[in-house]
Structure 1
Amino acid sequence: MTEHTEHGVRLGTVQETLLIPLYGRAVDNRKPDAILRDTRAEEIVASIDYDFARFDGLPSLTGAVLGTALFDRWVAEFLTEHPSGTVVELGTGLDTRYERVGNGRARWFELDLPDVIDLRRSFFTDTPRRTTIAASVTDPAWAS
């Protein structure tokens, strides 16, 4: 397990992969021709005690940013058609989609494993429109 001492959270090996798309968005944000604008990702990366440089040069960084941009577009289109709709992000990790495409009217649920949600709560606060859920997607109890 990896210890993120600044936040006192431990991530398992699988959960640790959430740091790749986060770092990809932060690196992309620094580019003049960024695909996404995600200053929050940069702030989060700067505050986590972790050697993100190990991900430098990985093709998955660009792939993660492109995938994020595609999902952002789909969610934005959904919210255009259903401005008071509900968005459920499964495996939310440290995603900042709510900040990027949220419209202030939709209801958001962000689900991930308990250790990931522990880390996530270091950076994001639940609101009446935004709720984090610490559970496995394979556990049907989370949807109740």
Structure 2
Amino acid sequence: MRTPHVRTAAPCPPLSAVPSTLRIPLAARAFGDALFPQVAVGDAHARAWLAAIGDDGARWLADRPSIYGVLARTRVLRQWALAYLAQHPAGQIVNLGCGLSHYFQWLDNGHCRLLEADLQEVVDIRRQLRVPQGPRQRLAVVDIGQPGWWDRLGLPPGRGAEALFLMCEGVLMYLQPAQVEAVLAEFGERAPPGSVFAFDALCALTVGNARLHPSIRHTGAEFAWGPASLAELTAPHGRLRLQASDPVMDGFAPLFAMAGLSFQFFTGVPFYALYALRVADGAR
């Protein structure tokens, strides 16, 4: 595949700790297909953007499990989003903490809309790299760790609107528990019925232990939240239901699948998984 050329007016500024973690999924999507063709994603932009921010990917590619996990996670999120679009062809997808991802290349059906949002420093880099932005795409600055993000993004204000699909990858584990609870509560309170919020999470045992992660330890970011039980995911609001989960690392190696089953048996939660919460019509 030919790598698109990207011009930047000046070197991209360095990112702070948590935003700098976007380099890991970017490297995975840039070079991971050759390492793990069974979960290849075919990202047409990642290699050029990685080079444009001055990263050759070598540090991140040494962490093979994380590279596999990003690709597998991307495929599941893409699958869940496409399932939503099958029911809502002109629906809206919201990518919270979008980093330098570009899901529109896989999801654009000619009718859907995509809102991508992140912190100011990440949005500035997206603009500097001239990430493709069409008439059905919108880029916004938001900090979902602060209450009121739903209205700041201009999302439907009432429960009578069409269902939305929200995705949030590699973000919630860096927020404080009270912030995560508030994010989920705001989604449960404000989202139209049938809306889905897809996100990934490490379990509670990882909190405070980012130094043990082969990639995250190089960024300065720290894990601050992880569920200790599945019930914790729906507890913030009575309209929330756990629709699906996917232990994305099971396909990496048989040992991972066996260890994952054992871990969940003893702890009640996966070590790492993708979750999809759905908003019901009424409270439990």
Deviation at 1:51, TM superposition (A): 4.5
Question: Bigger relative contact order, structure 1 or 2, given CA contacts below 8 A and separation 6+?
Answer: 1
Does structure 1 residue 117 correspond to structure 2 residue 119? no
Match in the other structure for 2:31 = 27
Match in the other structure for 1:126 = 133
**Structure 2: gaps spanning 5 or more residues:** 1-7, 155-284
Contact (CA 8 Å) 1:90, 1:110: kept in 2 or not?
yes
Contact (CA 8 Å) 1:6, 1:49: kept in 2 or not?
no
Aligned partner (choices 56, 60, 64) of residue 61 of structure 2: 56
Q: TM-score, normalised by structure 2?
A: 0.46
What residue identity is the alignment partner of 2:135?
P
Higher deviation after alignment, 31-40 or 59-68: 31-40
Contact (CA 8 Å) 1:111, 1:137: kept in 2 or not?
no
Residues 1-144 of structure 1: pairs in structure 2 closer than 5 A: 6-30=10-34, 33=37, 35-58=40-63, 59-121=65-127, 122-139=129-146, 140=148, 141-144=151-154
Q: Alignment partner of 1:127: what SS? A: coil
> What is the distance in 2 between the residues matched to 1:124 and 1:27?
19
Deviation at 1:80, TM superposition (A): 1.5
> What is the distance in 1 between the residues matched to 2:55 and 2:43?
19
Deviation at 1:124, TM superposition (A): 1.3
Q: Alignment partner of 1:9: what SS? A: coil
> What is the distance in 2 between the residues matched to 1:124 and 1:102?
15
**Structure 1: gaps spanning 5 or more residues:** none
Q: Identity rate of aligned residues, in percent? A: 30
Q: Alignment partner of 1:22: what SS? A: helix
Deviation at 1:74, TM superposition (A): 0.7
Contact (CA 8 Å) 2:50, 2:56: kept in 1 or not?
no
Q: Which of the pair is proportionally richer in helix?
A: 1
Larger Rg: 2
> What is the distance in 2 between the residues matched to 1:116 and 1:36?
23
